[in-house]
Amino acid sequence: MPVSSGRATLATVAASAGVSVATVSKVLNGRSDVAPETRSRVQSLLAQHDYVVSASRRAEGAGQDTVEVQFDKELNAYSTEIIQGAAEAGAELGVGVVVSIRRQADRPAAWARDLAGAGRRALIAVTSELTAGHLTALSRARLPLVMIDPLNLLRARVTSIGSTNFAGGLAATQHLLSLGHRRIAYIGGHATAACHQARMHGYRAAMEAEGAPVPPEYVQTGHFQYEDGVVGGATLLGLPEPPTAVFAGNDATALGVVEAARSRGLRVPRDLSVVGFDDTQIAPTASPPLTTVRQPLREMAGVALRTALRLAAGEKIESHHVELATTLVVRGSTAPPVGPAPSR
């Protein structure tokens, strides 16, 4: 079998052996769940291809590869779904997953050196706001980066994983419009976050297509937190012409809106319909169960992990941004507005 003259990667060896990259990784890690014949074939091809083990791997000896999944803030229901998805993918691929929270005071160079020194193969940054200094430091440390729902995209070629946020915002708003609502507000997240912008534009597109007005005070930004829904919901419900429905940028914000309505003696969905986004574990257990847009968070984490490993193996990837499909999940927090709908 011909051997490539270029630098061998796990993908090169896997293709020659007719197995997956995960199987080659298991052989390198000394995992026992590989058939003897397959192990022998892979080991032979590793030698034929003169596969060079990475510096981080040499430092770890025969230890398991690790990928760090890092958050900027405290963990929540959204984070739990990401961690679960990454852990499941890591178990399947024979890769360890380390979860951490980035300290904002860390200097980029020291931060990247610590990650490399710990033997990380790659970094997955979740809903993070990284600077150009962070990206440069990671590049110098030769640590591949994959971002999930980044709050800012400094470079077009930063690899990121997301969902069809525009389509999700469109579907959420169309659902409320189909019920007869016309006064629909939106409470989103960080003004610069790509996911917030896409969800908001989906909301606006649906409203415009229906000819429903969007007063400036009906669109609010926040931090994708419960408190945003409590405060923003109270503000909206205190308007001279309050909305009859609210589309919230995530489930936590949506539950805050529900609480704001309750504190004013309003009932959801009789007096106010509420739609969230994410479909985390809190959505079906809310009272009432929350209508929301399902973002496939676990699947997104799995794609991010596999992409990070491909980058670490020196492979080329087909796209620097991947979006997974969203789905509207209708539950008990939405209903037609009480009384006749406002004229169009």
Using a 10 angstrom Cβ sphere, with 0-12 exposed, 13-18 middle and 19 or more buried, the burial of residue 198 is buried
Q: Reply yes or no on whether the pLDDT at 123 is more than 90.
A: yes
- pLDDT tens readout for residues 56-106: 444 444 456 899 999 988 899 999 999 999 999 999 999 999 999 988 767
> In Å, how far are 66, 92, 109, 201, 304 from 301, measured between CA atoms?
15, 13, 26, 25, 5
121: Cβ contacts below 8 Å, ≥ 6 apart? 54, 56, 57, 65, 66, 67, 95, 144, 308, 309, 312
212: Cβ contacts below 8 Å, ≥ 6 apart? 177, 182, 183, 184, 344
Is the dihedral angle over the CA atoms 317, 158, 198, 246 positive or is it negative? positive
pLDDT band at residue 43 under the 50/70/90 scheme: confident
Q: Does domain 10-52 have CATH number 1.10.260.40?
A: yes
Fold matches, 66-163+296-324 and 165-295: yes
Specify the pLDDT at position 16.
86
The secondary element (H helix, E strand) that includes residue 308 is helix 297-312
Specify the pLDDT at position 208.
98
Q: In the CATH hierarchy, which fold is given to the domain comprising 66-163+296-324?
A: Rossmann fold (3.40.50)
Q: Do β-strands 291-294 and 273-278 pair in parallel, antiparallel, or remain unpaired?
A: parallel
DSSP for residue 54: P
Cis check: omega of the bond before 36, within 30 degrees of 0: no
Answer left, alpha or beta for residue 177, where phi above 0 means left and psi between -120 and 50 means alpha. Answer: alpha
- Average pLDDT of the chain is 88
| Cα three-residue angle 185-191-193, rounded to 5 degrees | 110
Domains of the chain, residue spans: 10-52, 66-163+296-324, 165-295
CA 115 – CA 68 distance, rounded (Å): 8
Q: Reply yes or no on whether the pLDDT at 341 is more than 60.
A: no
Q: In the CATH hierarchy, which fold is given to the domain comprising 165-295?
A: Rossmann fold (3.40.50)
CA 135 – CA 329 distance, rounded (Å): 37
**What's the whole-model pTM score?**
0.79
> In Å, how far are 63, 211, 325 from 156, measured between CA atoms?
34, 35, 22
Mean pLDDT of 32-57: 72
- pLDDT tens readout for residues 209-253: 999 999 999 999 999 999 999 999 999 999 999 999 999 999 999
